[in-house]
Chain A
Amino acid sequence: MSEEKRPGGLTALAVINFVFSGWGFISLLGLAVFFAFIGKIPTDQMQEPQKTQFEAFQDMGVYVFVMIFVLSLISSVLLLLSGIGYLKQKKFLGRTIGNIYAVIAIVGSVFSGMMFPSELGGGFNIGSIIGLIYPILTLILLNTTFRDDLTN
């Protein structure tokens, strides 16, 4: 299928991918900086809820943090690659990588929900559902609506 016949929805999906990917990279950068300086942040001026959140973040453990960081990094890279794949209507770069992103993002959301303490928004809440919207939509659309458009 030629690129001229690319449906508007696929272009929209690619643009959303790029936006979320950029957002993901910026968040990762912020998270890394925050984690690097976490020991130097004074807590005595903080109010009780912020202090509880901060302590929960400190208690989270470096392995959990690294795991979440890696999952988020992989998701952001896959979002970027699959976005390019959607625009070029590639079977592997678009459909396969897009599906892998969706599965990893869903697993990552469930993992974050289980590992994050409730003070940091962990557990199952309506925020988790918001986080699952895009991966689930991607999974559905790539395998139904846009299935025959990603064939190059």
Chain B
Amino acid sequence: MKLKTITIGHVRLISLYWSRYAVRSGSGLVYLMIALIFGLSMAHILIMPVEQLIARQKREMGNADPQFIKKTIIDIGRPVIQFVFGQKTLEEIGQESMARQRSFRDKDGGPEDAAAGPNKDADIDPWITFLLEKRPALLSAIFMLLIFGMPFAISFLGYNQVSGDIQSHGLRYLLLRTERSSIYFGRFLGTVIFSTAVMAIIVVTITFYLGMKTRIYPAGALTLWALHGFLALSILMVPYIAVCSLISASVDSPFLSLVLAKVVIAGVLLMGLLGSIYWKPAKYLLYALPWGWQSNLLHPEPARCLLAALGCLVYAGFFLFLGYYHFERRDL
């Protein structure tokens, strides 16, 4: 190991170049498109019914009833959060949604009907109550979907940190000017910078839109919760990028690296969830990656949020070290 030879100046230079080069190399461009379209589509799916409700109320009654709208948002957001927490399956959510739509049509959707749903089990989980009632519920539901979905997209950005240059032997020319450690950590850091910038674009767009267009929540509460969500999403991506770094350093082919990153990230989740149906302890597989505890980044208790953030950094450090250990010794 030659970790002592790492040069901060080189790492800074390589990371800044790599974050700019990401779009030019194609991986950053594809990730940017997928992340933006996924993030904004999730927001669109959740915001659209609320906007339609506001428009309908304004058309029929002259103005919108904020209480009724907030209750409807809780009604929309609750199954989303329950799904991410693993409390309900997609099938159960679909059945509930159809039953709700039927009752909405039959009774013409009075405030009492919408209120009946959210309140009946709101006390069951204080965490869900916190997300839906103490914080801007729409933003909470969007963040939950992003926390669940973004790890699937990150491999499009992180898969080719070094594998392409290992395959073409291009790294040999770079190693005349700098060390392996600077290249490895510099590119990892560059990928993290790019991912954080994309998260910032998504969160700012959604928050700005919610603040300016729907005007349901006070600007202060919206901004603070958006900042929390942005930090949570940014930190969450770090261990997944580190997994990609490890795979990228171990494999000679960028395509194989992408496939393996996809298989590992999605496979751990699938094996943990499906395996636990047949054998309960299989659920601990989810802890091989942050899947098992990543929702804690939006926990009501600040201590648990910080612990989850620390967990992300510890996982990232572990995967990064493994990758570096292999990269330092391998033939380039």
Measured CB to CB, the residues of A under 8 A from B are 7-13, 16, 47-48, 118, 124-127, 129-130, 133-134, 137, 141, 145-146
Contacts and interface: CB of A to CB of B under 8 A. Distances in A.
A104 to B, nearest CB: 20
Report the 3 A-B pairs with minimum CB-CB distance, sorted nearest first.
A8-B26, A12-B26, A126-B44
Contact of B48 (A16, A125, A129): A125
B63 interface: no
Given A118-B55, A127-B44, A129-B209, A8 B27 contact: yes
Interface residues of B, number: 25
Contact of B24 (A48, A133, A145): A145
B44 A9 contact: no
B25 interface: yes
A130 B47 CA distance: 13
Contact of A130 (B23, B24, B26, B41): B41
Contacts of B206: 126
Majority secondary structure, A binding face: helix
Contacts of B105: 47-48
Contact of B213 (A13, A124, A134, A146): A124
Nearest to A11: B26
A137 B33 contact: yes
Nearest to B59: A118
B257 to A, nearest CB: 14
Contacts of A130: 36-37, 40-41, 44
Given A16-B33, A124-B213, A137-B33, A129 B205 contact: yes
Contacts of A11: 26
B209 A126 contact: yes
A9 B30 CA distance: 8
A134 B33 contact: yes
Contacts of B43: 126
B186 interface: no
B222 interface: no
A141 B44 contact: no
Given A126-B44, A145-B23, A133 B33 contact: yes
Given A8-B26, A9-B28, 9 more contacts: A7-B24, A8-B25, A48-B105, A118-B55, A125-B213, A126-B48, A130-B37, A133-B36, A145-B23
A48 B209 CA distance: 29
B51 interface: yes
Majority secondary structure, B binding face: helix
A9 B55 contact: no
A126 B49 CA distance: 12
B29 interface: yes
B32 interface: yes
A8 B55 contact: no
A47 B102 CA distance: 12
A28 to B, nearest CB: 21
Nearest to A130: B40
A19 B54 CA distance: 36
Interface in B112-157: none
A126 B47 CA distance: 8
A126 B205 CA distance: 9
Given A126-B44, A133-B40, A7 B25 contact: yes
Contacts of A125: 44, 47-48, 51, 213
B44 A12 contact: no
A32 to B, nearest CB: 26
A119 B313 CA distance: 46
A9 B23 contact: yes
10 contacts: A8-B25, A9-B24, A12-B26, A125-B51, A126-B47, A126-B209, A127-B44, A130-B36, A133-B37, A145-B23
B26 A9 contact: yes
A141 B22 CA distance: 12
Contacts of B55: 118
A114 B257 CA distance: 45
A4 B48 CA distance: 46
Contacts of A141: 23, 29
Contacts of A137: 29, 32-33
